[in-house]
Chain A
Amino acid sequence: MRPENYRPVSHPPSHEYELYFGPNHPGIEGNYAIRVRLKGDEVQEAIADGGYLHRGFEKIMEERLWIQNVALVPRICVPDPVPMEECYSRAVEQLGGLEVPARAQWIRVMMLEMSRICAHLFTFGGNAATIGFYTNMFWGVSMRDLFLDLFEEITGARIYHMYITPGGVRRDLPEGLLDRLAALLDDLESRLPDFEDLFFSNTVVINRATGTGTISAEEALAWGVTGPNLRASGLPFDVRRDDPYLVYPELEFEVPTMKDGDALARMMVRKAEVLESIKILRQVIARLPHIEGPVRCPLPNPLAWNIPAGDTFARVESSKGELGFFVVSTGGAKPWRVHVRGPSQMHAVQVLERLLARGRLEDIAQIMFSLDACPPEVDR
């Protein structure tokens, strides 16, 4: 384009202006964009603009074998991939009538809770950075890295584990891993007071986050909010407790809730959930050595593995909220249809748009990070 051909757009005189917030913006979480209409710094209207990370998962999965999809599903949500594997595997197990051995169930719970801690530590960092606290980001990310080291030891990969497969898990735990996990949990627990001092009981944070992006309990139900965001509005629903799967009925844990439903309450709920996850992991460490047996039920040849016809829905509690897989099989070697019901799509589109419309320009990043939406899972 030649500069002499450039014609600037003329707008009628107005107090309002439109701002493209993202995708190339440090205040946005991942590759995502919001178009906001502003009057001064008050947001009049926000329109979520997704699709930057669309890969067409639901279509790709129809063209791959049941076992090949195990490698595909963790990529749906990058910061918290284990619930995706668990959810897909359980859907296939329900269709194929597979029985997961007891030891594999306990290992799966361990992986799920470790992933939850990782995702929450990552969110602490992102959330703090939006208010200007970069130290917290450094601490959160480096603590998470120690968990990633354990993941690497168990599965061979830091981010995408592909460890949970239909029928169990890929292989047994390495020698002495539970001791190292116990030591790491002690380490994390001894550092949480530092997080508390620096961030959660900091007056600046409390003033800034109180009343920002408030969701009332009625709105939360009407808008389809799930997970920690729902519990921050005072509704104690947790799939692990209310529709239990794996060995969660045998575990003792609480479902932390807050009343206010604002950004601060959402952070506090996540902080309490990290403590609950530590509690669950300690129970797993105590029980797992006494459970012997295989870690995977016998599977047919995975390259010629036909799943009986039928449809099923499986759901888990991920760190972002309630995650569901609807899988339809026609008896073939590939799924006929897979639908992913992710929590982030509700949080990052309809909830975010409505919350931003009540907010100000400087709160956009904070509201988005406090909802903990995951853009790869929004677009899928």
Chain B
Amino acid sequence: MTGSEKVPVVTDQPETCRVADAEEKSLLRKVMDNFADHCRSRSLFVLHYCTGCGAIELPPTITSRFDMERVGVSPMVTPRQADLLLITGYLSVKTLKRVILSYEQMQAPKYVVGFGSCTINGGMYWNSYATVKRLDQYIPVDSYIAGCMPRPEAIQQVFLDLMAKIDAGKATAWQDYYLNYDAYLGRQMNLFGQDWHTPTDVVAEAKHYGYVGNGTTGEHTALLDQRATWSLDTVPELYPARGRNERSRP
């Protein structure tokens, strides 16, 4: 870029946001983005959620033998402060609901890594009635580790690859969730039923971050808008009301 070129700078946010093209970004913005990406890649907080059997290889990876904290990866207990969601193996339908809730609670930019064959094609449980076969139909995935079970070296390698990807500004799967939210929501509704919805207003978030595309809204998000009221009581399968499943004690 030469200094004589006029660089359009987006100063006023218009009513309907859109994704800024790479050429539209100012030099300062690009430098700041690159710097922020570099910093992000060096401090990844992993959400502490053991979704499947791959979690058994996480303690060796975290503790003294492989020690992933020396590359800047550390566990974090709340989704609000986590950057990285590890899907450690197969997901049953019941777990997938919680995974989507946790994923939507995480602040962007956020990254997802799928462990093992089970997240890629169902793996060992390809004909199970209870598990989800392809993870990337429901949430966007940045990296996969093949095999069952992935070794700690493989887990470390995927962290290093992901860090390089974030540093280069290529770990953009989370933007895909905003740009194609309607398709993701549709597949989630196919699995969980038409009543499926989460407390997070993803469309508003997409507007906030400026990632509104043609696929952000559609027939499935229209179903959400039709719903007049929402409360914890209307989602019995996710938050069972007290009294349900209650058993008498001997």
Contact = CB atoms under 8 A, between A and B. Distances in A.
Chains A and B form a bound pair: yes
Interface of A: 1-3, 5-9, 18, 23-26, 30-31, 35, 37, 45, 47, 51-56, 59-60, 63, 71-72, 75, 78-79, 122, 125, 137-138, 141-142, 144-145, 148, 157-160, 357, 376, 379
Chain B contact surface mostly: loop
A31 B50 contact: yes
Given A5-B230, A8-B231, A78-B53, A24 B201 contact: no
A369 B165 CA distance: 38
B64 interface: yes
B47 interface: yes
A52 B50 CA distance: 11
A151 B246 CA distance: 44
26 contacts: A5-B230, A9-B232, A9-B233, A26-B48, A26-B77, A30-B50, A31-B49, A31-B55, A31-B95, A35-B240, A52-B92, A52-B95, A53-B92, A55-B92, A55-B128, A60-B125, A60-B128, A71-B124, A79-B56, A137-B59, A141-B60, A142-B63, A145-B60, A148-B60, A159-B53, A159-B56
Interface in B74-96: 75, 77, 79, 90, 92, 94-95
B114 to A, nearest CB: 16
Interface residues of B, number: 55
Nearest to A8: B231
Contacts of B229: 5, 7
Contact of B53 (A1, A54, A75, A145): A75
A55 B229 CA distance: 35
A376 B59 contact: no
A171 to B, nearest CB: 20
Query: Which among A47, A75, A144 has the highest number of chain B CB atoms within 10 Å?
Result: A75
Contact of B92 (A35, A51, A125, A157): A51
Contact of A158 (B102, B151, B201): B151
Nearest to A134: B63
A160 B227 contact: no
B20 to A, nearest CB: 26
A37 B240 CA distance: 13
B15 to A, nearest CB: 18
A332 B65 CA distance: 47
B245 interface: yes
A31 B231 contact: no
A52 B96 CA distance: 9
Given A1-B199, A5-B229, A72-B124, A52 B55 contact: no
A44 B201 CA distance: 35
A248 to B, nearest CB: 27
B191 interface: no
Nearest to A29: B50
A125 B90 contact: no
Contact of A142 (B64, B79, B199): B64
B92 A7 contact: no
Given A24-B79, A60-B128, A142-B65, A31 B52 contact: yes
Contacts of B227: 1, 5
B59 A141 contact: yes
A7 B230 contact: yes
A54 B75 CA distance: 25
Contact of B242 (A8, A18, A52): A18
Contacts of A148: 60
Contacts of A7: 229-231
Given A7-B230, A24-B102, A25-B77, 11 more contacts: A1-B230, A3-B204, A9-B232, A23-B49, A26-B77, A31-B49, A31-B52, A47-B247, A55-B125, A157-B149, A379-B92
